[in-house]
Amino acid sequence: MAASSRARVLDLYRAMLRESKQFSAYNYRTYAIRKIRDAFRENKNVKDPVEIQTLVNKAKRNLEIIHRQVHIGQLYSTDKLIIENQEKPKT
């Protein structure tokens, strides 16, 4: 049970990061990637299964939000920021 829920959480983590890298706006993209990493790291020692489930549900909702907003951002995308040409793309 613990093993599968760990695998589930990791899958969710990877899915969220994968989706966030698709944001066409630099600031949204970097924020989402950073926030996802920080939030999962902060909660990595949570043991209570009820709390874990709550967090997983929240993450699933956020994944859906990211998915929609990535899509909208791509529909209305514009030019890159001056900084995006110089730094290595954060993928």
Partner 1 sequence: MLLRTAWRRVAAALPAAPGPRPEAPTRGLRLRVADHAPQSAVPSDTAIAPEMESVLRPLYMDVQATTPLDPRVLDAMLPYLVNYYGNPHSRTHAYGWESEAAMERARQQVASLIGADPREIIFTSGATESNNIAIKELEDAIQPDTSLVSIMSVNNEIGVKQPISEIGQICSSRKVYFHTDAAQAVGKIPLDVNDMKIDLMSISGHKIYGPKGVGAIYIRRRPRVRVEALQSGGGQERGMRSGTVPTPLVVGLGAACEVAQQEMEYDHKRISKLAERLIQKIMKSLPDVVMNGDPVHHYPGCINLSFAYVEGESLLMALKDVALSSGSACTSASLEPSYVLRAIGTDEDLAHSSIRFGIGRFTTEEEVDYTVEKCIYHVKRLREMSPLWEMVQDGIDLKSIKWSQH
Cβ nearer to partner 1, comparing 46 with 65 = 65
Alpha-carbon gap, residue 54 to 22, rounded angstroms? 26
Smallest distance from partner 1 to CB 5, Å: 24
Q: Is 76 in the site for partner 1 (CB under 8 A)?
A: yes
Rule CB under 8 A: is residue 66 a binding residue for partner 1? yes
Between 4 and 27, CB nearer to partner 1: 27
Nearest distance in Å: CB 84, partner 1: 7
**Interface with partner 1, residue 72, by CB under 8 A:** yes
**Per-residue CA distances from 65 to 6, 10, 84 (Å):** 23, 19, 24
To 10 degrees, the CA torsion angle through 73, 77, 82, 88? Answer: 60
Is residue 23 within 8 Å of 73, Cβ to Cβ? yes
Query: Which residue type sits at 41?
Result: R
Binding site for partner 1 (CB under 8 A): 26-28, 30-32, 35, 38, 65-66, 68-69, 72-73, 76-87
